[in-house]
Amino acid sequence: MKRLETVANIAVIVAVVVFLVFIGREEYQRHNMPHPMSAKDLIGTKVTLPGVHFSPANKTLLIAISTTCHFCRDSEPFYKDLLAKNNGRLNIVAVLPQPLAEAQAYVQNSIAPSVQVVSAQLDSFGVSGTPTLLLVDGSGKVQQAWVGKLDDKGQQQVASSLM
């Protein structure tokens, strides 16, 4: 009986130690891992993308999307509408983490063939989630940013910012 009690006590101590190590590791990671940038954090950052030249004459809207993101697919009608309403006054560049051929096929079929497509890792310019919209000036500096699927109010805000 005494031996069973000793084994039970040791098992409890081991379980507590394992639990504390697990919780300690989670807390360490939570406090020491980089946090994803919010829309506010992206404003003022400079974006450089291979093959993209920001025009001082027109605004550029970067759309960071992914072929695997259902929020991006849900937002396709909004992107098409933006193109239709801002024809010629707005440069739209779709940035996807997928290979260029896959990204181009997706954008051409889902949004519009006229949209410039770039294949790049989204975190290379501070984006951690899709969809993310960045309004960029002629020097590549982010003027405004929107992160996530936009509701009607957010879509109106984007549209009015582009006028």
Span 30-85, pLDDT tens digits: 655 444 556 777 888 888 888 888 888 778 899 999 999 999 999 999 999 888 88
Residue 163: CA count within 13 A, CB half-sphere: 6
3-state DSSP assignment of residue 3: helix
| Res 35: pLDDT | 47
Residues 61, 93 contacting (CB under 8 angstroms): yes
CA end-to-end span of the chain: 82
Are 146 and 39 a contacting pair, CB within 8 Å?
yes
List the structure tokens of 9.
């006590």
Q: Which residue has the higher pLDDT, 137 or 162?
A: 137
**CATH class of domain segment(s) 39-162:** alpha beta
- Is the pTM higher than 0.85? no
Residue recorded with tokens 């759309």: 63
| Sequence spans of domains, the chain | 1-33, 39-162
Q: What is the CA radius of gyration of the chain?
A: 23
